[in-house]
Structure 1
Amino acid sequence: MDKIYSIFKSRKPGIIGNFKKASVMLLLTGEQNNPNIVFEVRSFKLSHQPGDICLPGGKIEKNEIPRQTAIRETMEELSLNRKDIHFIGDMDYVVTPFNFIIFPFVSKLDENAEIVPSQAEVDHIFKVPLKFFINNEPEMHELPIIQKSDESFPYHLINGGKNYKFREGKVQDYFYEYKEYVIWGFTALVVKRFVDIIKYHKTETP
């Protein structure tokens, strides 16, 4: 019991499981009362998700905290300096069914900064007015998540064996269509959550 007390009295909780982690940045630019969100079209030369639409961001490196990753990746992918990025705050993070955690953040681009996309990672960027997302709900489709195992699974160790009623779930996939672009998947999920926070946040009065 003494050892248990010494371990848990000041222990900070973590997440059970082996998760990959990434950070993304909701980068706002434009006028104060009419901002845009910056999106990237991934380079078609990349081996992973070429041509997909995403927010600036990437894998969290060792000894980095998520915020540092979001800022670093935004600087690298868009050829920005640290002074160009005015950090605003944290978004809600996403724990995906695919052993992946995404940490989104919100920042404002300095009005004098110029975006020059990294050719190695970004084909091009485009901007979407925040008002578009506020005024247009995304199309939503649900994808089922089903537990599937092979014959090596020890069914004989559980009640009901192969007839056991395993849990099933669903993933909500959102789709925004803006001009020739389709913003979908976890990028659309992060944007929708950002917009919902803005739309339904009640400003506290003194």
Structure 2
Amino acid sequence: MTGSDLIEKLEAALGKPGAASSDFDLNPDVTLPEGRVLRDAAVLVALMPSTDGAQLVLTKRSSALKHHPGQIAFPGGKRDGDETLATTALREAEEEIGLDRNQVRLIGTLPSHETVTSFQVTPHVAIIDGPFTPVPEAGEVAEVFTVPLEHVLDTRNYVIEGRRWRGRTRHYFVVPYGPYYIWGATARMLRSLAEQVRA
């Protein structure tokens, strides 16, 4: 499937209603506190079309970071002031991987995702127009790499794993690719994208 075919399929899928997701989806025994306050955040699910498909841009966080060191993530972060969530996603991508927002075409959003760290994250799906050479943000991003979009859209590539967290076993999705261990919130949002396309 060509990149343009994939993008067309993706745009159609993003126009359908979808369900919100959570880091707790695979842990039904967890009771979330009523009245909890979630902070708004956004990520950019950036895609580079090619003649043989499309590539998804991801980052590997610096191992020196206090929060989520070494983990695979989308460019993104918390909302700053009264900016829109789309602006948040674009700003963070500029800061983290050097992606000029004028080179980005937003094509839709996924339903929000609640994280264990009390963020409500809205993924913004976008196409990168023209060539792009990443510039990782020093001290925050160790590496910028790509994964074939078709890999993450195939639900057969996902597995469920678990580890001890705060005294109990927490289960989560993993969608490994080569040397990259993509798990947790990033994998769950990608799984939502795959499910949306399959719906």
For normalisation by structure 1, the TM-score amounts to: 0.71
Name which of 125, 128, 132 aligns with 2:144.
Answer: 125
Q: What whole-Å deviation, never above 9, does each CA across 1:70-105 have from its counterpart, x for those lacking one? A: 111011111122211111111110124543211111
Identical aligned pairs, as a percentage? 28
Deviation at 1:29, TM superposition (A): 0.9
Gaps of 5+ in 2: 1-33
Higher relative contact order (CA 8 A, sep 6+): 2
Residues of 2 paired with 1:73 and 1:79: CA distance? 9
Describe the shift of the 1:34–1:173 C-alpha distance in structure 2 as closer, same or farther (beyond 3 A).
same
Deviations 1:25-57 (A, max 9, x none): 111013166011111001122222211110110
Q: What TM-score do you get using the length of structure 2 for normalisation?
A: 0.73
Q: Which amino acid aligns with 1:198?
A: V
1:70 alignment partner, SS class: helix
Name the aligned partner's letter for residue 187 of structure 1: T
Question: In the alignment, residue 104 of structure 2 is paired with which amino acid?
Answer: I
* Residue in structure 2 matched with residue 140 of structure 1 by the alignment: 160
Q: Which residue is equivalent to 1:38?
A: 57
Residue aligning to 1:10? none
* Equivalent residues in 2 for 1:18-167, closer than 5 Å: 18-31=37-50, 34-96=53-115, 98-135=117-154, 136-141=156-161
**Is it true that 1:184 corresponds to 2:183 in the alignment?**
yes
**Distance change (3 Å), C-alpha of 1:97 and 1:48:** closer
CA root-mean-square deviation? 2.6
Q: What is the identity, as a one-letter code, of the residue corresponding to 1:60?
A: R
Quote how far apart the aligned CAs of 1:184 are: 0.3
| Larger Rg, first or second structure (1 or 2) | 1
1:112–1:137 distance in 2 versus 1, CA, 3 Å: closer
Give distance in 1, aligned partners of 2:157 and 2:180. Answer: 16
Letter of the 1:130 partner, please give it: L
Letter aligned with residue 182 of structure 2: I
Is the 1:30–1:111 contact (alpha carbons within 8 Å) kept by the matching residues of 2?
no
Aligned length: 165
State the partner residue of 1:3.
none
Cα gap change, 1:98 to 1:79, in 2 (>3 Å): closer
CA distance in structure 2 between the aligned counterparts of 1:118 and 1:20, rounded to whole angstroms = 23
Is this contact kept in 1: 2:77–2:89, CA < 8 A? yes
Q: Name stretches of at least 5 consecutive residues in structure 1 with no aligned partner.
A: 1-14, 149-169, 201-206
Q: Which letter does structure 1 place at the counterpart of 2:186?
A: T
